[in-house]
Amino acid sequence: MARVHNWQLGREMSYWYPESRPNKQFAAVFDTNKCIACQTCTLACKTTWTSGLGQEYMLWNNVETKPYGFYPLAWDLKLLEMLDGQKWSEQEYEGQKLHRYEGQTIFESAPAGERVLGWRPEDVDYAYPNVGEDDCAGQVDGGASYSLQHMAQHMAWFYYLARICNHCTYPACLASCPRGSIYKRPEDGIVLVDQGRCRGYQECVKGCPYKKVFYNAMTGTSEKCIACFPKIEQGIQPQCFVNCIGKIRLAGWISTPDKARPDNPIDYLVHVRKVALPLFPQLGLEPNVYYIPPIHVPLSFTKQMFGPGVADAVKTYRNAPNDPDLQGLLALFGSSEAMMPRWRRQGDWVSGFTEDGKEAVRVPIKEPVHVRQPYDRLYQITRTNCP
Ligand code: SF4
Ligand code: SF4
């Protein structure tokens, strides 16, 4: 085992290979508050990459309702139960909160003779991708479907969690593979399975805590999200991003915290404003899909899912209407198919720029609202939206 630095943990940790960061790291931010669980992203991916034989149960992109939805079943609960003592400590340094993970990662708690603490789902665990959909936590009386904390004794809540492979900095799938068939591309950090080398041992399926590698029984190999790399190479965001109805997604490149640039949209949201957080950082993979946490969910739940920065992230996000830069950047989500590694706000407008510095899109921070009068004088008719 090598010693590597994991900035999400605030400390060094053990990993199977030495630290070797790519020249650029693919990353994304998902705003959970905007997702409507329409599953357009799921279908966009399915029809592009996994419509073949042996891929029937594969959902490289899935959207599950938390707290009761999972794909595969209980993917997160099982591992959290296996991983004891997940504690974070907090220190103040020059006015900043520094968090450090004091528990053990899945690499540090691997059983003797194994590289990762993991488990392999049964076939039946993949049978119900919509399990728990729209189920809420808390008691719902008398047909009420939703209540706020200050309005009732109990709180009913759920939220949608869209998931793809995190193209982790320290991938457990890669560490688990005894054939060395999984690799991380140095040019963009995308994690791929070499189909020629893979022999289908499924150690990666067992090792990935997010369960984002799938075994294809027809080909006898493992397959996973490829971050639509043929599109990324052309400067275009992946299928599940550009088809997202809720405009919850933004793809880009992330730097390490010491090299963060405020004019890089992902850096700005993750490092500068700290409003977007990793999924289960305590597992130790340094995942590269970041989530703006849901603002209506008890912090005790979201803290175990997105780490100790969740209370500050929710506060910052709630204040977005008074924060033109943050509000502006959020308006850039879903505004263009282009990868936009740079952004700038000017007054009430925000622009995204491509790799070569060209303006890809310019959008207003607030969408103009046009109210159509019911009576149209030009055509002398009355239009109503509903009877
Ligand atoms: Fe590998 Fe899983 Fe990380 Fe994707 S999410 S890189 S499949 S460990
Ligand atoms: Fe959510 Fe977007 Fe997927 Fe619809 S397309 S389920 S809004 S992530």
pLDDT digit string (tens) for 236-277?
999 999 999 999 999 999 999 999 999 999 999 999 999 999
Evaluate: CB of 63 within 6 angstroms of ligand 2.
yes
DSSP state of 372: P
Report if residue 147 sits inside a domain.
yes
Report if residue 383 sits inside a domain.
no
- The ranges of the chain with pLDDT < 50 are none
CA–CA dist 158, 161 (Å, integer): 10
- Total of domains in the chain: 1
Report if residue 336 sits inside a domain.
no
Evaluate: CB of 80 within 6 angstroms of ligand 2.
no
Atom of ligand 2 nearest to the CA of 30: 8
12: left (phi over 0), alpha (psi -120 to 50) or beta: beta
Which of 7, 19, 6, 28 shows the shortest CA–CA distance to 175? 19
Report if residue 16 sits inside a domain.
yes
Range of the domain at 190: 2-22+30-246
Report if residue 156 sits inside a domain.
yes
Q: What pLDDT, in 10s, does the model give residues 268-278?
A: 999 999 999 99
- Give the strand pairing for 213-216 and 221-224: antiparallel
pTM score, two decimals? 0.94
3-state class (DSSP) for residue 370: coil
Which of 325, 339, 329 shows the shortest CA–CA distance to 363? 329
Would you say 169 and 163 are in contact if contact means Cβ atoms under 8 Å apart?
A: no
CA–CA dist 308, 286 (Å, integer): 15
Q: And the tokens for 185?
A: 């591309």
Evaluate: CB of 212 within 6 angstroms of ligand 1.
yes
Which of 354, 353, 355, 337 shows the shortest CA–CA distance to 345? 353
Report pLDDT for 384: 76
Round the CA-based radius of gyration of the chain to a whole number and report it.
22
Report pLDDT for 94: 83
Which residue's alpha carbon is nearest to atom 1 within ligand 2? 35
Report pLDDT for 54: 97
Report pLDDT for 141: 60
Could you give phi then psi for residue 70, rounded to 5 degrees? -150, 150
Distance from the alpha carbon of residue 39 to the mean position of ligand 2, in angstroms: 5
Q: What pLDDT, in 10s, does the model give residues 184-193?
A: 999 999 999 9
Which CATH number covers residue 162? 3.30.70.20
Report if residue 324 sits inside a domain.
no
Could you give phi then psi for residue 297, rounded to 5 degrees? -105, 140
Mutate to test the pocket of ligand 2, among 29, 30, 43, 63 (most ligand atoms within 8 A of CB): 63
Report if residue 321 sits inside a domain.
no
Report pLDDT for 213: 98
Report if residue 303 sits inside a domain.
no
Bridge partners (DSSP) of residue 359 are 353
